[in-house]
């Protein structure tokens, strides 16, 4: 059963994507299609496989089963077309701030090129550092910077490669609340300026709703027609909303509907005692679609209200 037709032409496309580590199924039949330039946030209870999903998109791990395409092409090992920012370890401790930002340019240029374009590379790196308001810190080592500054360097380090897609794994998770809000606004500015697709994994719902243009809730708390005996369910996308981009101001966070949406998401994805049936998932986004197997969804089990909800 399909809500919307799967569009494999979209920038990022996955269908029936599964990832299992031995017996443990982490992701099960994840269907997702994301347009280019979307800032897609991924939330979910801890252990739901958010980071696993990110590693699959990055090409760092291989899916157990399923389709995973970028621009219609199967995904390869990590490479310069997909940038990544981690919560930590994004920066190389042995390089200064400037060298960290320069690294991508230097690595992808040949030895001669590197020498010939040294000045251009440096200017470009300084341009990005200026954007991050870090010019005066360019000769420091990462350990001499605060957490927020480190993440800004990590962002510059990725942006200088102009990746089509930027993957972020709880990038602001270790920052204090004030710095965190600054970084969120900052990220939105960069996203608008550099026009890339971003997949942003976070465990903070407020952050996800504020930053994203689309929010995806990944959760292992759901049921299907396989019955309660089936304990092997991996997480899948239980909700998928478009988010209205109102302003790049943190003021929206205090509005009532903002809080309401967060409550709704928490109810749908984060409550082990309240499990949605696969047919009732809240897949409101235009690009979302769902493929279910006959065991997972058996229409003859569903009559009246349920069946109507499922087809709606």
Partner 1 sequence: MTRAPKFWGIHAELSRTVQILAALLPFILLIATYFTVSYVRLSENPKDKLTPSIGQMASAVHMMAFTKDTRTGEYLMLTDTLSSLRRMSIGLGCAALVGLFLGLNMGMLPGPGATLLPMITFLSIIPPLSILPILFITFGVGELGKIMLIFLGGVFVITRDIYQTTQQMPREQVVKALTLGASQLQVLYQVILPQILPRLLVMVRLCLGGAWLFLIASEAIASTDGLGYRIFLVRRYLSMDVIIPYVLWITVLGFLMDTGLRLFVKWKYPWYAASQ
Nearer to partner 1, 93 or 178 (CB): 93
- What does the alpha-carbon distance between residue 215 and residue 5 come to, in Å, rounded to a whole number? 19
- 5, 23, 74, 93: residue in contact with partner 1 (rule CB under 8 A): 93
Residues 158-217 close enough to bind partner 1 by CB under 8 A = 158, 161, 163
Q: Does 103 bind partner 1 (CB under 8 A)?
A: yes
- 118, 141, 182, 293: residue in contact with partner 1 (rule CB under 8 A): 141
Residues 17-76 close enough to bind partner 1 by CB under 8 A = 58, 60
- 15, 16, 35, 86: residue in contact with partner 1 (rule CB under 8 A): 86
- 45, 49, 63, 104: residue in contact with partner 1 (rule CB under 8 A): 104
Nearer to partner 1, 124 or 280 (CB): 124
Task: For residue 9, give both structure tokens.
Answer: 């032409």
Q: Is the dihedral of CA 221, 225, 227, 231 positive or negative?
A: negative
Chain Cα centroid distance, residue 119: 35
Nearer to partner 1, 90 or 290 (CB): 90
- What does the alpha-carbon distance between residue 49 and residue 219 come to, in Å, rounded to a whole number? 8
Residues in the interface with partner 1 (CB under 8 A) total 27
Alpha-helical (H) ranges within 82-176 are: 97-108, 111-116, 118-131, 147-159
Q: Does 143 bind partner 1 (CB under 8 A)?
A: yes
- 150, 157, 179, 288: residue in contact with partner 1 (rule CB under 8 A): 157
Cα dist. 260→4, 248, 252, 299 in Å?
A: 26, 19, 12, 32
- 15, 64, 78, 117: residue in contact with partner 1 (rule CB under 8 A): 78
Spatial CA neighbour of 269 closest among 222, 210, 201, 213: 222
Q: Does 259 bind partner 1 (CB under 8 A)?
A: no
Nearer to partner 1, 100 or 290 (CB): 100
Spatial CA neighbour of 285 closest among 55, 41, 75, 72: 41
Q: How many other CB atoms are there within 10 angstroms of residue 258's CB atom?
A: 17
Nearer to partner 1, 77 or 115 (CB): 77
C-beta of 64: minimal distance to partner 1 in Å? 19
Q: Does 115 bind partner 1 (CB under 8 A)?
A: no
- 107, 130, 230, 232: residue in contact with partner 1 (rule CB under 8 A): 107
Alpha-helical (H) ranges within 140-224 are: 147-159, 177-194, 205-211
Query: What would you report as the CA-atom Rg of the chain, rounded to the nearest whole angstrom?
Result: 21
Q: Yes or no: say if 268 and 223 are a contact pair by the CB < 8 Å rule.
A: no
Binding site for partner 1 (CB under 8 A): 58, 60, 77-80, 82-84, 86, 88-90, 92-94, 103-104, 107-108, 141-143, 157-158, 161, 163
């Amino acid at each position: 059963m399909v809500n919307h037709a799967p569009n494999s032409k979209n920038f990022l496309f996955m269908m029936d994507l599964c990832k299992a580590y031995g017996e443990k199924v982490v992701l099960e039949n994840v269907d997702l299609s994301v347009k280019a330039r979307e800032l897609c946030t991924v939330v979910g209870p801890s252990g739901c496989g958010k980071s696993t999903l990110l590693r699959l998109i990055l090409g760092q791990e291989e899916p157990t089963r399923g389709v995973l395409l970028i621009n219609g092409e199967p995904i390869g090992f990590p490479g310069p077309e997909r940038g990544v920012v981690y919560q930590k370890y994004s920066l190389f401790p042995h390089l200064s701030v400037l060298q960290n930002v320069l690294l991508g340019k230097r690595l992808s240029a040949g030895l001669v090129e590197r020498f010939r374009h040294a000045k251009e590379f440096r200017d470009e790196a300084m341009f990005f550092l200026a954007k991050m308001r870090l010019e005066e810190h360019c000769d420091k080592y990462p350990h001499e910077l605060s957490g927020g500054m480190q993440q800004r360097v990590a962002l510059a380090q990725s942006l200088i490669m102009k990746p089509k897609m930027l993957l972020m794994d709880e990038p602001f998770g270790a920052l204090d609340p004030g710095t965190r809000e600054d970084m969120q606004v900052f990220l939105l500015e960069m996203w608008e300026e550099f026009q890339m697709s971003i997949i942003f994994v976070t465990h903070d719902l407020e952050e996800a709703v504020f930053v994203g243009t689309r929010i995806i809730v990944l959760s292992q708390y759901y049921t299907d027609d396989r019955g309660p005996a089936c304990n092997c369910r991996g997480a899948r996308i239980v909700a998928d909303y478009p988010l209205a981009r109102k302003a790049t101001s943190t003021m929206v966070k205090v509005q009532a509907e903002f809080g309401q949406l967060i409550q709704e998401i928490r109810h749908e994805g984060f409550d082990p005692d309240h499990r949605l049936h696969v047919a009732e998932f809240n897949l409101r986004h235009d690009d979302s679609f769902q493929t279910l197997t006959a065991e997972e969804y058996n229409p003859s089990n569903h009559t009246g209200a349920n069946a109507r909800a499922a087809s709606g």
